[in-house]
Amino acid sequence: MAKHYEALQRAEEERRRRVSGEPPAVKPVQWDTTPETAPKPKTRLRDHLKRTPRPRPVAPSRIRSRERADDGANEMNKRRISLLQPDSYAAEQFRTLRARIDSIATERPIKTLAITSANPDEGKSTGAINLAAVTSMGVGRKVLLIDCDLRRPKVHTSLGIEPRSGLGEILLGQARFDDAVVKADGLDLDVLPVRTPPPNPSELLASPEMRELLDEVKERYDQIILDTPACLGLPDAKTVTELCDGIILVVRADVTPRVDMAAVLEILDRRRVLGTLLNGAEISRQQYGYY
């Protein structure tokens, strides 16, 4: 009965709407708002960057500083190759140089020996340090290496020495020789380094105190090797070489101009020049057998 009643009621409502002209009722649509799957959690940008870090670019200035540091370490190792690689071909060449100097010393006294070059960065410090190292290896020989480059000293950094005082302080009367001289690590070699470059290097090297210092150390050592500044443009090298028994000129292969070497020979006393030392030459190992 209920179904019949509902049908009659719907028919009656439909009849009234037709009479009154009302639009038919529209049954509201029930939308299904239930999600098919659970929503994914939102990923924050900060968490994403933590999981996948981006490589930080290296500044060009840092790259250049690293390259300069590597170049500096290589140059420092070259200056002491006789210590680091005593059996190398380069070390043998310095022993040959020592033998030639000893041969000349049989004819004339060569107790003080200056090492110089025409221009900076041609290898004079390399020659002085390695020659002093192999000379100190001789049995019963007392050797002193003096850094006379009061402008750009390199001996103490090359040998890893921390000077308490140096040549400048001695010449200024601020220190004694015994307080300034240092023993090189791993060698029977005494070193007189430069601690602080003075404001008047040329005047100090030409002073009577410099001559007195050399006279004093001649009584103590068998061989004294002096690393002098570059010759051209400065009076320092000429001043020091005139106090020495012999001079060795360092020439860098494919770098030192011939005209500069001719100018150096015009400046220095040729009677003191023992010869030249070629630095930086490319030599094939096959030419020298087991060497």
Mind listing the pLDDT tens digit for each residue in 224-241? 999 999 999 899 999 999
Q: d(Cα 256, Cα 251) in Å, to the nearest integer?
A: 6
- Using 50, 70 and 90 to split pLDDT, how confident is the model at 284? low
198 closest CA partner among 165, 228, 225, 230: 165
> Do residues 134 and 94 lie in contact, with contact meaning Cβ atoms separated by under 8 Å?
yes
Residues 179-202, mean pLDDT to the nearest whole number: 93
- Using 50, 70 and 90 to split pLDDT, how confident is the model at 2? low
115 closest CA partner among 224, 4, 199: 224
Mind listing the pLDDT tens digit for each residue in 121-158? 999 999 999 999 999 988 889 999 999 999 999 999 99
Domain boundaries, the chain: 91-282
pTM, 2 dp? 0.72
Q: Which of 29-38, 191-200, 223-232 has the lowest average pLDDT? A: 29-38
| CATH ID of 91-282, from 3.40.50.300, 1.10.10.10, 3.30.460.20, 3.40.50.800 | 3.40.50.300
145 closest CA partner among 164, 162, 166: 166
Residues 35-53, mean pLDDT to the nearest whole number: 54
